Structure 1
Amino acid sequence: MKMGFLGRTCLIVLSLLPAVSTQGGWRVVGSDQPVIAEPGDDVILPCHISPRLSAVDMEVRWYRDRFDTPVHLYLNKKDQPRRQDIPYRGRTALSPSALQTGDISLHLRNLQPADWGIYKCYADDGSWNEEGQTEVIVTALGTQPSISMESTQGEQSRLVCRSEGWYPEPEVTWRDRDGNNVTSLSSTTLLSDSQGLLSVSSYIKIKQQSNVFSCLVRSKIPKPDWESKLHISSDFFPGVSGWMVAFFLTLALSIAVIPLLVIQWRRMDAMERKLEPMGK
């Protein structure tokens, strides 16, 4: 009875080790910080395989909303431009040398306002697949606003504030000569050009020409905070893989449980000895 209890417990613990050791696999890591750039820029969307493995023989797919309409597709050791979403043809690339080290970052040329969004990077080696994501934010600061006065016969005079070349839609603020915010009294219209950039025109009626007004046009996207981080990847320690960490963690837990099993065994042994005289 005593050996049976210990034996069954040890068998259960040991049976878990192979299951844990085979659950390692690799993962795809995108970027936790958005890529912020202006229209026309060339950008790199970070993404890599961890731990570092060659992706040369894998399927690598970048897509946005639809998996079957990729932004970029690498399959059978070559790019597949004919299966690519039309707006991205001729604008994307993967680095062949980087693929050898598991770097599947996407090079995106001539950034457009329509490129704003979440991009998912997917890798598949035939038996395992994972995906990460990277966000792209497209922002353009327009021209300095100009104010002019419009006056038509029979209508109240109004000031017009104009600025162009913005993306996304900017925020317009009107203030009177005392610094009061009078934006609620204004109306604003937007026009989009062939490149998707916005021109803004904001109007506000005035009662006296002697009033002084100011017009502020600014981006709704706050400037990113500068922050320093030191990230030590598991790739820095090539001798330690995910399954090895899981194996040794399980082994350590097993060793920690042994004293508890011994204590329990001693208690059961003492109880048996007390019960033996009663059995006789």
Structure 2
Amino acid sequence: MDVQLQVKEQFPSWAKALLVLLVLGLLVSGALLVHFRQYFKSVYQVEVDSGAESVQLPCKTIVHLPKDAKVQWTDGYNRKVHVYQNGSDQPGEQDIYYRGQTEMKRKLLEPGDLSLTLKYPTERDKNIYTCTVYNREGRKLKEKQVVLKVKVLSVYQVEVDSGAESVQLPCKTTVHLPEDIKVVWEDGDDRKLHVRDITEVEQK
């Protein structure tokens, strides 16, 4: 009678050590990723109440920018919200909708803030804004997106009988408004119902 002897080889010790190191490496990497997840985010989300005096769209850098760097903010429709180049703002390149509505910090050559301040945000300003930094050759050095959500504080409902002589639509603000403000009433289809320049009224 033949008897076959089978000897099972034990798992090599070097393989066990390698497996332990691999598991530990995965655990450490996962912990670091969770801890520093804010640093890897490319999209920020900012929320502001409609009627606030301003809102800041954050964009920061930890490196020195060249003197001739160009910083350009655009919205989701690819409109130029703000352009900064050669040490000064470039309002001529700015979309007309945003003129007089934005402000940017001046010390761009130092590592720090490229954040944009958007004045008097309304529901129409909710959008995805992109901060892009270019060098002189037009190569992108940095790009960051910010999602802006604007909360409407209140919605009024006014009822009127058909054929009435008139109806008043209420609109009040508790914040100080700039002198050159323009008031625009629009309907749900973005049709202008009434436009009034406050400065012109005061001069009369």
Q: Partners of 2:146 and 2:108 in 1: how far apart?
A: 18
Runs of 4+ residues over 4 Å off in structure 1? 28-31, 143-146, 195-198
Q: 1:110 to 1:55 in 2, by over 3 A?
A: farther
Pick the aligned partner of 2:88 from 73, 78, 90: 78
The corresponding residue for 1:112 is 122
> Shift of the alpha carbon at 1:29?
7.3
The corresponding residue for 1:157 is none
> Shift of the alpha carbon at 1:194?
3.1
Q: Partners of 2:95 and 2:160 in 1: how far apart?
A: 47
The corresponding residue for 2:177 is none
Is the 8 Å Cα contact of residues 56 and 100 (structure 1) preserved in structure 2? no
1:133 aligns with 2:123: no
Helix, strand or coil: the match of 1:114?
Answer: helix
Q: Which protein has the larger Cα radius of gyration, Structure 1 or Structure 2?
A: 1
Q: 1:58 to 1:149 in 2, by over 3 A?
A: closer
Q: 1:45 to 1:121 in 2, by over 3 A?
A: same
- TM-score, normalised to structure 2, is 0.52
Helix, strand or coil: the match of 1:32?
Answer: strand
The corresponding residue for 2:106 is 96
Residue identity over aligned pairs, in percent, reads 28
Larger helix fraction of residues: 1
- TM-score, normalised to structure 1, is 0.39
Is the 8 Å Cα contact of residues 119 and 134 (structure 1) preserved in structure 2? yes
Q: Partners of 1:149 and 1:77 in 2: how far apart?
A: 55
CA-to-partner distance for each residue in 1:47-105, whole Å, 9 max, x for gaps?
Answer: 122x33236531000011454x4110112222110111001101111111355224211
Unpaired segments of 5 or more residues in structure 2? Answer: 1-39, 162-168, 172-182, 189-204
AA partner of residue 105 (structure 2): S
Pick the aligned partner of 1:64 from 75, 84, 91: 75
Helix, strand or coil: the match of 2:153?
Answer: coil
Aligned length: 133
Q: 1:91 to 1:73 in 2, by over 3 A?
A: same
Unpaired segments of 5 or more residues in structure 1? Answer: 1-27, 151-162, 166-192, 199-280
